[in-house]
Amino acid sequence: MRGLPSDSSLGLYLHIPFCRKKCSYCSFMSVVPQDDLLRRFAACLKREIDLNRDLLSQRKIATVYVGGGTPGVLGERLLDIIRCLSGNFDLSDIVEFTVELNPESSPVELLRGIRKLGVNRVSIGVQSFQDSLLSTLGRIHTPDMARTAYSRAREAGFQNVSIDLMAGIPGQNPELLKEDLEQAVSLLPEHISYYLLTPESMTPLSHAITSGYAHLPADSLARRMLLHVSKFLKQNDYERYETSNFARPAFESRHNINYWKRGEYLGLGPSACSHLSGKRWRNNPDLEKYLSSLEDSRVPMVDEEVLTSREILTESFMLGLRMKEGIPLESLRETIPPEKNESLMLLVSSLSEQGLLSQKGGNLSITEEGLPVSDSIIVELVSSL
Helix 108-116 vs helix 143-155: crossing angle, to nearest 10: 40
Name beta bridge partners: 45. Answer: none
pLDDT(4) > 50: no
Burial of 155 (0-12, 13-18, 19+ CB in 10 A): exposed
Residue of 378 and 142 predicted with greater confidence: 142
Taking residues 293-300, report their average pLDDT: 96
pLDDT(222) > 90: no
Handedness of CA 242, 244, 246, 251 (dihedral sign): negative
* Most confidently predicted of 5-14, 53-62, 335-344: 53-62
CA distance 381 to 370: 13
- CB burial readout 169-199, b (16+ within 10 A) else e: bbebeeebbeebbebbbebebbbbbbebbeb
pLDDT(32) > 90: no
pLDDT of residue 140: 93
Q: Are 285 and 29 in contact (CB under 8 A)?
A: yes
pLDDT(182) > 80: yes
For 105-119, how does the pLDDT look when each residue is reduced to its tens digit (9 = 90+)? 999 999 999 999 999
- Read out DSSP for 124-177? EEEE-S-HHHHHHHT----HHHHHHHHHHHHHTT-S-EEEEEEES-TT--HHHH
pLDDT(337) > 80: no
Residue of 5 and 163 predicted with greater confidence: 163
Range from 99-103, 283-287, 291-295, 342-346 carrying the lowest mean pLDDT? 342-346
pLDDT of residue 29: 63
Cα dist from 71 to 47, 67, 229, whole Å: 18, 6, 28
Average pLDDT, the chain: 90
pLDDT of residue 192: 98
Q: Are 149 and 101 in contact (CB under 8 A)?
A: yes
pLDDT of residue 51: 95
Taking residues 320-333, report their average pLDDT: 86
pLDDT of residue 36: 92
CA distance 359 to 333: 13
Q: Are 44 and 290 in contact (CB under 8 A)?
A: yes
pLDDT of residue 3: 35
pLDDT of residue 8: 56
pLDDT of residue 2: 32
- CB burial readout 282-309, b (16+ within 10 A) else e: bbbbebeebbebbeeeeebeeeeeeeee
Question: Closest Cα partner for 191 from 233, 227, 149, 133?
Answer: 233
Cα dist from 201 to 20, 25, 204, 205, 217, whole Å: 21, 9, 9, 9, 18
Reported as a pLDDT band with limits 50, 70 and 90, residue 5 is very low
pLDDT of residue 385: 75
Question: Closest Cα partner for 42 from 69, 17, 64?
Answer: 17
CA distance 73 to 68: 10
Residue of 370 and 63 predicted with greater confidence: 63
Diameter over CA atoms, the chain: 60
Phi, psi of 225, deg, nearest 5: -65, -40
